[in-house]
A and B are shown apart, each in its own frame.
Chain A
Amino acid sequence: EAAVTQSPRNKVAVTGGKVTLSCNQTNNHNNMYWYRQDTGHGLRLIHYSYGAGSTEKGDIPDGYKASRPSQENFSLILELATPSQTSVYFCASGDGHTQDTQYFGPGTRLLVL
């Protein structure tokens, strides 16, 4: 049974439109993360959270907002999508202990036209 799920799995959006990517985890982990993965860049951290109500900026937060309304749910919001945000987005959860292991969802493939 998948512990980190993402929706939608695929999304086509128009430039200037709003996109919301959702992530749900049943691990009861405190920490959650949003990454994007592009060829030649590996994974890059966009936003992360230490618990419900908290969001922190990662390495590439520009153009993205995040929301953590509950322990289980963490959303990534693109208010004004641009073609440069075409990518594969991964959500992960981690228990936040010293040897924190991050567990990943299956990814969302986003195409912005």
Chain B
Amino acid sequence: QQKVQQSPESLTVSEGAMASLNCTFSDGTSNNFRWYRQHSAKGLEVLVSIFSDGEKEEGRFTAHLNRANLHVSLHIREPQPSDSAVYLCAVMRSNYQLIWGSGTKLIIKP
């Protein structure tokens, strides 16, 4: 059964420095990965979807997928205080069901 783990649990980064978040999964046959963002107790906003090994960029957000290493990462370029939120990784299994990590709390210091 697919398991998804995120690291670190919490990350503080200075404004303008690159922020990097990690997600590992247990089943390398998946080919559908998402990064979402959640501002405190609000709904989730999809940031990047990636479906093949390599890189996918959406504005300041870039996802890197390496299925052989069971790893997908998110890099945020030039983060701003408004990017402070919980970032969630999700892996899709059959029947469109998403399996979620428990999140990384990102704090951007001005």
Question: Which A residues have a C-beta under 8 Å from some C-beta of B?
Answer: 4, 31, 40-45, 48, 56, 58, 88, 90, 92, 94, 96, 98-107, 109
Contact with A along B87-103 (1 / 0, CB 8 A): 01010100111101111
Question: Which B residues have a C-beta under 8 Å from some C-beta of A?
Answer: 4, 32, 34, 36, 41-46, 49, 51, 88, 90, 92, 95-98, 100-103
Contact call B42/A101, Cβ cutoff below 8 A: no
23 CB-based A-B contacts, threshold 8 Å: A4-B43, A41-B102, A42-B102, A42-B103, A43-B90, A43-B98, A43-B100, A44-B100, A45-B97, A48-B95, A58-B97, A90-B44, A94-B96, A96-B96, A100-B32, A100-B92, A100-B96, A101-B46, A102-B98, A103-B46, A104-B43, A104-B44, A106-B42
Chain A residues with Cβ below 8 Å from B36 are 104
**Chain A binding surface, main DSSP class:** strand
Contact call A88/B97, Cβ cutoff below 8 A: no
Please, which residue of chain B has its CB at the minimum distance from the CB of A100?
A: B96
Q: Once the chains are docked, how many angstroms separate the CA of A42 from the CA of B6? A: 10
Contact call B41/A99, Cβ cutoff below 8 A: no
Q: Once the chains are docked, how many angstroms separate the CA of A61 from the CA of B3? A: 19
Contact call A99/B49, Cβ cutoff below 8 A: yes
Q: Once the chains are docked, how many angstroms separate the CA of A88 from the CA of B92? A: 22
Please, which residue of chain A has its CB at the minimum distance from the CB of B44?
A: A104
Identify which of B49, B100, B102, B103 contacts A101 (C-beta below 8 A): B49
Nearest-CB distance from A68 to chain B (Å)? 15
